[in-house]
């Protein structure tokens, strides 16, 4: 299925939380490459993300059993939203879907996807420490790559680099 077909199917099953589909510009030829996705994506309401993932996973024509990636992005300092980026993959049907959710920076909370895809667990931990997004109901919300006592969320665009760490100067 190409992106348009996936979107039609999502609308047909009335996927929870589906806001809109984005096809930002004229897709170039390489967009036909099945290994590629993301130029066209669906925007999903972050609060209903779990239901959306569940619908994608359990619908037999979508069959998105594999959560490939879950990450976030901070588009700009003055942007008021984070993006949460999810890549889904169907092993049987051989198609991909990119999902984007907008999270307000002042209240970056969304439910965890761990219950639907266990693989999301570590990705969410990474997201949480790098961007300060809280995944509600996460079973193990510790830092994963950063030390436990790290201050700040390094991947934010407004992050200020520390000048020292435990007395070690890093200027």
Partner 1 sequence: MVEAQKYKPSMQLSDESRVLPSGEREFMLDVSTADLEVNMGPQHPATHGVMRVLLRTDGELVTGAQPHLGYLHRCAEKIGENVEWLQYLPYTDRYDYLSAMNNNLGYSLAVEGLMTGLEIPRRATLIRTICAELNRVASHLIAYGTYGLDIGAFTPFFYAFREREWIQALFEKICGARLTYSYIRIGGVFNDTPPGWLQEVGHFCDVFEDKWREYYDLLVENHIFVKRTADIGVISAEMALDFGLTGPMLRGSGVDFDLRRDMPYMAYGEISDAGAFDIPLGRGEKGTLGDCWDRFYVRVAEMMESIKIVRWCLDAIEPGPVLGDVPKVIKVPAGEGYVGIENPRGELGHYVASSGGKVALRCRVRGPSFTNLAVLEDLMPGTLLADSVAIIGSTDIVVGETDR
Nearer to partner 1, 48 or 96 (CB): 96
Residues that bind partner 1 in the complex, under the rule CB under 8 A: 24-25, 28, 30-31, 33-39, 65-69, 71, 73-76, 83, 85, 87, 89, 91, 94, 96, 98, 117-123, 130, 139-140, 143-147, 154-155, 157
Residue 126 Cβ vs partner 1, minimum distance, rounded to whole Å: 8
Nearest Cα to 73, choosing from 130, 137, 19, 20? 130
Residue 38, H or E segment: none
The string of DSSP codes covering 101-167 is EEEEGGG-EEE-STTT-TTHHHHHHHHHHHH--EEET-S----SSS-TT--S-TTSTTPPPPSEETT
Nearer to partner 1, 9 or 122 (CB): 122
Residue 15 Cβ vs partner 1, minimum distance, rounded to whole Å: 20
Residue 77 Cβ vs partner 1, minimum distance, rounded to whole Å: 12
């Amino acid at each position: 299925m190409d992106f348009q077909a996936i979107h039609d199917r999502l609308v047909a099953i009335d996927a929870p939380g589906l806001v809109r589909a984005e096809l930002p510009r004229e897709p170039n030829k390489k967009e036909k490459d099945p290994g590629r996705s993301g130029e066209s994506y669906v925007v999903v309401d972050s609060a209903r993300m779990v239901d959306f993932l569940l619908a994608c996973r359990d619908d037999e024509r979508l069959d998105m059993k594999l959560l490939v990636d879950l990450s976030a992005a901070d588009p700009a300092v003055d942007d008021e939203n984070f993006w949460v980026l999810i890549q889904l993959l169907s092993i049987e049907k051989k198609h991909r879907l990119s999902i984007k959710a907008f999270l307000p920076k002042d209240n970056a909370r969304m439910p965890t996807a761990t219950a639907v895809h266990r693989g999301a667990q570590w990705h969410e931990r990474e997201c949480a420490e790098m961007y300060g997004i809280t995944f509600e109901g996460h079973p193990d919300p510790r830092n994963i790559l950063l030390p436990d006592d790290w201050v700040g969320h390094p991947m934010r665009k407004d992050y200020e680099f520390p000048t020292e760490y435990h007395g070690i100067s890093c200027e």
